[in-house]
């Protein structure tokens, strides 16, 4: 029997900006087939960790392994080619470009060009609300639809692991529920998920496992349902 390698194994990461340290000895894992969330307040260092994993900033210590291969200090394009999909904070769509063009850009790093048309249909199948709007400029979509486009674009890269940075921020509750359901659906298609969120309630209700980041340190790690029931988490992150 072969045991699948841990999808993402972040071990002892230290990182910051210039001489200002932000992350201190951060270790998190995403196992195959799981949705893992990293929750924490604004400024805790969540996006900084995403930037380290994505190769956008360099760590000063620790390691990142992806699918069992050491990927510490790889470049962003190398991480994308290795199977990392990123949905950045604030979506960062190409507003003047159409939905179709945004999705096509998501596939830029792929070498299996023959599968792209098939995946285009498969990805659109997840987003019935977008299907009839392929020629619409991305900037014309609502906030929720733009979030869907950002997720769809990342899926066009055929990622093994999807990193989402606060995908529910600023969305109406009904749209938050839609995004949450979508994340579960994507997970069931075999894409592993690392979900970064300030909305702990939503994140913990869809994740299998969760980490709590405070001031650049992991202070709790447990099954998502255990964190949801944890009095400290409830007080600090759920306001109850």
Which is closer to Mg ion, CB of 13 or CB of 103? 13
Residue 147 found at the interface with Mg ion (CB under 5 A):
no
Pairing outcome for strands 35-39 and 84-87: unpaired
Q: What is the nearest approach in angstroms of ligand ADP to the Cβ of residue 38?
A: 9
Q: What is the nearest approach in angstroms of ligand ADP to the Cβ of residue 49?
A: 7
Binding residues for ligand ADP restricted to 8-47, rule: CB under 6 A: 17, 22, 40, 42-47
Q: What is the nearest approach in angstroms of Mg ion to the Cβ of residue 231?
A: 26
Residue 91 found at the interface with ligand ADP (CB under 6 A):
no
Note the residue count of the chain: 240
- Is-contact 162 154, C-beta < 8 A? yes
- What the block records as the tokens of 9 is 């194994």
Q: What is the nearest approach in angstroms of Mg ion to the Cβ of residue 165?
A: 6
Buried residues in 155-166 as b, exposed as e (16+ CB within 10 A): bbbbbbbbbbbb
- DSSP, collapsed to helix, strand or coil, labels residue 128 as coil
Q: How many residues sit close enough to ligand ADP to count as binding (CB under 6 A)?
A: 10
Q: How far apart are CA 39 and CA 110, in angstroms?
A: 31
Residue 37 found at the interface with Mg ion (CB under 5 A):
no
Using the rule CB under 5 A, which residue among 7, 37, 47, 230 binds Mg ion?
A: 47
Residue 168 found at the interface with Mg ion (CB under 5 A):
no
Q: How far apart are CA 175 and CA 99, in angstroms?
A: 19
- Intra-chain end-to-end CA distance of the chain, in Å: 45
- List residues binding ligand ADP (CB under 6 A): 17, 22, 40, 42-48
């Amino acid at each position: 029997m072969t045991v699948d390698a841990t999808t993402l194994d972040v071990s002892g990461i230290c990182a910051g900006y210039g001489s200002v340290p932000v992350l201190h000895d951060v270790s998190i894992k995403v196992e195959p087939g799981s949705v893992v969330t990293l929750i924490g307040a604004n400024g805790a260092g969540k996006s900084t960790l995403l930037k380290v994993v994505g190769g956008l900033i360099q760590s000063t210590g620790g390691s990142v392994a992806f699918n069992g291969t050491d990927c510490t200090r790889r470049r962003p394009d190398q991480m994308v080619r290795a199977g990392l999909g990123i949905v950045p904070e604030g979506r960062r769509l190409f507003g003047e470009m159409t939905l179709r063009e945004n999705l096509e850009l998501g596939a830029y790093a792929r070498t299996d060009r023959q599968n792209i048309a098939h995946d285009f249909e498969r990805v659109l199948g997840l987003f019935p609300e977008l299907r009839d709007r392929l020629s619409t400029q991305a900037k014309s979509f609502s906030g929720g639809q733009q979030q869907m486009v950002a997720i769809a674009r990342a899926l066009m890269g055929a990622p093994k692991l999807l990193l989402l940075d606060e995908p529910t921020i600023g969305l109406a509750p009904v749209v938050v529920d839609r995004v949450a359901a979508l994340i579960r659906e994507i997970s069931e298609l075999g894409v592993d998920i690392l979900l970064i969120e300030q909305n702990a309630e939503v994140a913990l209700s869809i994740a299998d496992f969760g980490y709590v980041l405070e001031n650049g340190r992991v202070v709790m790690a447990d099954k998502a349902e255990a964190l949801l029931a944890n009095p400290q988490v409830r007080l600090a992150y759920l306001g109850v």
